[in-house]
Amino acid sequence: MQSTIRRAVETSGVGLHTGCQVKLRLAPAPPGTGLVFRRTDLRDFEIPALRQHVSRVVLATTLMKRGVMLSTVEHLLSALYGLGIDNLYLDIDSLEVPILDGSALPFVEMVRRAGRVWQDRERTFLAVVQDLEVRDGDKFIRVTPAEQLRITYEIDFDHPAIGRQTLDLRLTPEIYADEVAFARTFGFLAEVEQLQQSNLIRGGSLENAVVLDDEGVMNGPLRAPDEFVRHKALDLLGDIALCGYPVLGHVHAHKAGHALHTDLATRLARVSPSCRLVTEESVSVARPSRP
């Protein structure tokens, strides 16, 4: 069955790229609503969290509808997608979701505080029935049929603190909360000045990102030795959420990023011929337990 949260919950923080203070409120929504952002500073202007509204994917995923923008949505969407929350209003009073600690864990904790409510409508899943692939040179994401969502992610950075890392998980809400949500975004000190000159990461700090210099991690310790690849998987799930349905398939990503992630969401959202919509009753998917 579909689900929402029991009661509204709020948080506030700074936007990673804008540096602006922003308030975020998660509120229950009726069955069939989906995940819908509402800009409370603009008379509750609604921007559904769907691939058709993606406008930019440079360092973060940005949505835009009729000129109204909302940036850095991927961590929040990842938490909701990973926990299996179907319907929610995401009320925000600025143009960027707060970065908080740079991971999805604060959003998971918000959902836990709010509680889950089951709704009287079946979930619809997007089942991958034929192999599909998006590629950019040696970077690719390949999806093959599977009975549940499985994520395999591989990264390869020429940096002593990262190198090659691989993550392989069969995703459930419990596994997402324990194995993915805590992983923080990361960046390189050498790129900070250039990004700031481009009016980016104005809200970035050692408190909301893992920062690496030429030798290693400046603000350790890491939350896990492979925190970097876990965060890439976190981003992938947030971007896949934009296809509008929970996916059944094995998603294998190699050196990918937001551009390929959202390209995949576009392919999935087209449904045919590689995918088909299936009802909850027709697939052997266990109901997500309370996160």
Active site residues: 258
Which residue is listed with tokens 């509750």?
44
Which residue is listed with tokens 């499985």?
150
Phi-psi domain of 213 (left: phi exceeds 0; alpha: psi -120 through 50; beta: other): beta
Rounded to whole angstroms, the Cα distance separating 177 from 104 reads 9
CA distance readout (Å), 95 to 62, 67, 101: 9, 11, 18
Determine contact, residues 33/26, Cβ cutoff 8 Å: no
202: tokens are 């104005």
Rounded to whole angstroms, the Cα distance separating 149 from 95 reads 31
185: tokens are 């975004």
Determine contact, residues 167/229, Cβ cutoff 8 Å: yes
Rounded to whole angstroms, the Cα distance separating 152 from 234 reads 12
Which residue is listed with tokens 């998660």?
26
Rounded to whole angstroms, the Cα distance separating 126 from 149 reads 10
Rounded to whole angstroms, the Cα distance separating 68 from 63 reads 8
